[in-house]
Amino acid sequence: MVQISRLKEQSFLVYGLSSTGQSVVKFFKKNNFKNFKVWDDNQKKVFTKYRSKNIKKTLKQVKYIVLSPGISLIRNKVLRQFKKKIITDIDLFFLTRNKFKSIVVTGTNGKSTTCKLLAHFFKKNKIKCSLGGNIGTPILSLKNSKKNFIIIEVSSFQLSHSRFIRPDYAFFLNLTNDHLDWHGSRKNYLNAKLKIFQYQKRDDYAFVNSKFKKFFIEKKFSSKLIIPKLKEYKKIKNKIKNDYLKSKINDENMCFVYTFARQLKIKENSFINSMQTFKGLPHRFEFFLKKRNVNFINDSKATSFTSSQLALSGLKNIYWILGGLPKKGDQLKLSKIKKNIIKCYLIGNHINFFKKQIKGKIPFSITKNLKNSLIQICKDISHGYHDNKSILLSPAAASFDQFNNFEERGNEFKKLSKKYANRII
């Protein structure tokens, strides 16, 4: 830990004024940092008092550039020249941390749910904790007094530029092709994720998906390696009376949390009881409506096919809404799950991309948007004969071609579902 008084002697540029960048400025102001400037290419009316008047000059002069997540050096040639100066809000947090244990979670899929599972587990076992980072509350905005644990969700964007992150417990859940346009390659993406272990010491713990054990060993990281084993979690899975956790979609997340609980020597019954009342996050395999024998499921957060695959493999008789802005290099591998799909409904501005991958494999209609999809699905279901049907929005694509974000897409789906569900005969 570096004393704040020593950090105050350094000069900073806060580059990017999203919620994260703004939290950094507020942190500096709260702690009386005097030598900092701000910059955002778009937000020119935020913190104008601190705005750099000459960004190129400021970039050269400052000691550190606190970069907001999402700003890619591949796209910003000017920033690329100052890569060695870049740090993140996560770094500032660890440089000034208090006496608590940190759990940092990363992975392509399941980060937010795993963090929420951890927070729920702590609460039920009367262990004080805070939750923040990429999941919602910027880490520097957390109130950390009298907490035993801080749970932090980190993205590959944050990890890519972090230089001082040192978790007591680091979770690396999984890795699939995502954000390759930001990182440039899968290798760069993997290396960004692996940075979660880079600054750990011998008394820290690394929870690693078994598929990435070899990379951990090759990098010769110092922390204690723990491989969560799915078969161990499955021994107790059926004892947890929670419909949301019955599906396979949460097995990996639960496996990590269960392994962590055992590491803390929490009794098995205490773990099982604490998970009985867990409720899933919105837009992540969210069962929100049932009409007759039809389940409506909002999985809008599934922005790649790998994300959608678990939902598709865990259901039967699916009316699947698919489409949006596809991820670079994504492919729809349907051979093992097409039997679960009755019909697919294509939406968004990239219909041809998805049509080429499903044509001849599963029946489909081109519906273009959510409203048309639900109207058509209700007609198709009324003429069908299957029991226990599911209407699933799991787009396997980003939302930005038709919506501002996956939350807006999911909320629109839920609103329209409630409107048209009565059409099911």
Given phi > 0 = left and psi -120 to 50 = alpha, else beta, which region is 373?
A: alpha
Amino acid identity of 372?
A: N
Residue 180 pLDDT greater than 60, yes or no: no
Global pTM reads 0.91
pLDDT digits (tens, 9 = 90+) for 313-336: 989 999 999 999 998 778 899 999
Residues 294, 269 share a domain: no
- Domain boundary among the residues 221, 240, 275 is at 275
Structural domain for 225, as ranges: 97-275
Q: Considering the domain boundaries, does residue 189 fall inside one?
A: yes
Residues 328, 418 share a domain: yes
Residue 353 pLDDT greater than 90, yes or no: yes
- Domain boundary among the residues 230, 245, 275 is at 275
| Residues facing 65 on adjacent strands | 13, 86
Listed residue (389, 413, 412) closest to 292, CA to CA: 389
Amino acid identity of 41?
A: D
In the prediction, which pLDDT does 72 show?
A: 82
CB 103 within 8 A of CB 206: no
Output the CA–CA distances (angstroms, integers) from residue 217 to 4, 159, 174, 188, in the order listed.
Answer: 35, 19, 16, 18
Query: Taking the mean position of all CA atoms in its chain, how far away is CA 12?
Result: 28
Residue 225 pLDDT greater than 90, yes or no: yes
Structure token digits, residue 263: 């590491």
Q: What is the CATH number of the domain that holds 159?
A: 3.40.1190.10
Residues 239, 127 share a domain: yes
Q: Considering the domain boundaries, does residue 105 fall inside one?
A: yes
Query: Taking the mean position of all CA atoms in its chain, how far away is CA 139?
Result: 15
pLDDT digits (tens, 9 = 90+) for 27-42: 999 999 999 999 998 8
CB 321 within 8 A of CB 394: yes
Q: Considering the domain boundaries, does residue 155 fall inside one?
A: yes
The number of folded domains in the chain is: 3
Q: Considering the domain boundaries, does residue 4 fall inside one?
A: no
Amino acid identity of 231?
A: K
pLDDT digits (tens, 9 = 90+) for 76-93: 888 999 999 999 999 999
Residues 79, 139 share a domain: no
pLDDT digits (tens, 9 = 90+) for 265-280: 999 999 999 999 999 9
* Rg (the chain; Cα; Å): 23
Residue 305 pLDDT greater than 60, yes or no: yes
- What is the distance between the alpha carbons of residues 139 and 23, in angstroms, rounded to a whole number? 8
Distance from the first to the final alpha carbon of the chain: 64
Q: Which residue has the tokens 């962590």?
A: 260
| List of residues 6+ apart from 421 with CB closer than 8 A | 289, 291, 294, 296, 378
